Structure 1
Amino acid sequence: MSAPVLDDLQVGQEIGRRELVVDRARLVRYAGASGDFNPIHWNERVATEVGLPGVIAHGMWTMGAAVGVVADWVGDPGAVVDYQVRFTRPVPVPDPGAATVQVVAVVGQIDAGARTARVDLTVTCGGTRVLGKAQVVVRLG
């Protein structure tokens, strides 16, 4: 697949979508890789005691996995020059089973002078938005 061309983009154009599956084993691996061993990400009792619906995915896992749609589309993760999100709702991860996070990426703005495009991500789990104002700015040739 060739890299996207700025002049070929239109605001409102969908550039990708993906379903991300996260289970408890992935949370444990992510905790080890990130150093975030907060028990709300692996201990049901602790998670419910602090008012959560159960064990939840790391917000940074959700954020990092979601931007993969854009990085794959642009073909070069180094083309991502800015990425911002608001964490709006947790992603509960059942046991047994897994949670599925849906990501839809749409061109939100084009800046021809700067040769950048802003890609807006809609990130949901079970129909509920889990990341708000998720915006990725990419520089295109």
Structure 2
Amino acid sequence: MRAIRILAAALCVWAVAAPTTAQNQSAEAQAVLAVEDAYVAAELSRDELALRRIVDDQFALNRNDGTTVGKEAFVASILRLNMVGQTISERTVLVQGDVAVVFATTELRFASDTAEPTVSRLRYTATYRNRGGAWRMLALHMSARS
């Protein structure tokens, strides 16, 4: 009987803290995903003003080599990209107060002058925070997805 109570309690905790999917989104989760969609559009169009508005001043990109990059270097690197497309899948969001974490897979397509376009398939975690009523990207980590 005790095991059943423990299992029931664990399921209740999981249900409250489970990431939000497209079928079950709170208004805050929808707002976070709208900002993330705006970020992707700004990334593709290399819209510097939108990138600077969406990316938090305290932003950090956590690279696979263990180094981190701040907002200025991150925005500059995006502006140099020759990205021509991006498809996001497997996206879920977890919102806890003024912090949200998005987990997703993305397929990035880059143009090349000398070869066929290249494709990078990545799994990423993006952290957002609500500052002054606006969600901003605070941190990002991406790694290769097979």
| TM-score (norm. length: structure 2) | 0.31
Higher fraction of helix: 2
**Highest Rg: 1 or 2?**
2
TM-score by length of 1: 0.32
Structure with the bigger RCO (C-alpha within 8 Å, sep 6+) is: 1
Q: Greater strand percent: which structure? A: 2
